[in-house]
């Protein structure tokens, strides 16, 4: 087994072992989710001057943009694997 494949298998085993011993997986991952979502609030309001509702509204749009960009990149990669190419999802040439 190649080294990258072995590392991936070991990581999967570790993740399953972690979740097998964790009574509340959502609580275990809550700090990471909060940090990830906080990224979008900092992106749209780096100085923290917006009203919290407006900051949340803008952050939600930034989060949706992020995931739509990932979906586009994924579609592009699938097309490239099929040999069709397609537009560059980042818009670079």
- The pLDDT of residue 93 is 43
**pLDDT tens series, the chain, 93 aa:** 679 999 999 999 999 999 899 999 899 999 999 999 999 999 999 999 999 999 999 999 999 999 999 999 999 999 999 987 656 656 554
Burial of 49 by CB count in 10 Å (0-12 exposed, 13-18 middle, 19+ buried)?
A: exposed
Q: How many CA atoms lie within 13 A of 49 on its CB side?
A: 2
pTM over 0.75: no
**CA-CA distance, 8 to 45, in Å (whole number)?**
37
Burial of 59 by CB count in 10 Å (0-12 exposed, 13-18 middle, 19+ buried)?
A: buried
């Amino acid at each position: 087994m190649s080294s990258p494949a072995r590392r991936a298998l070991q990581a999967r085993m570790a993740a399953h072992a972690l979740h097998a011993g964790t009574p509340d997986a959502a609580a275990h991952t809550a700090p990471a989710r909060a940090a990830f979502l906080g990224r979008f609030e900092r992106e749209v309001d780096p100085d923290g001057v917006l009203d919290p509702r407006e900051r949340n509204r803008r952050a939600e749009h930034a989060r949706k943009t992020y995931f739509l960009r990932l979906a586009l990149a994924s579609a592009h990669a699938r097309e490239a694997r099929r040999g069709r190419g397609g537009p560059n999802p980042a818009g670079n040439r």
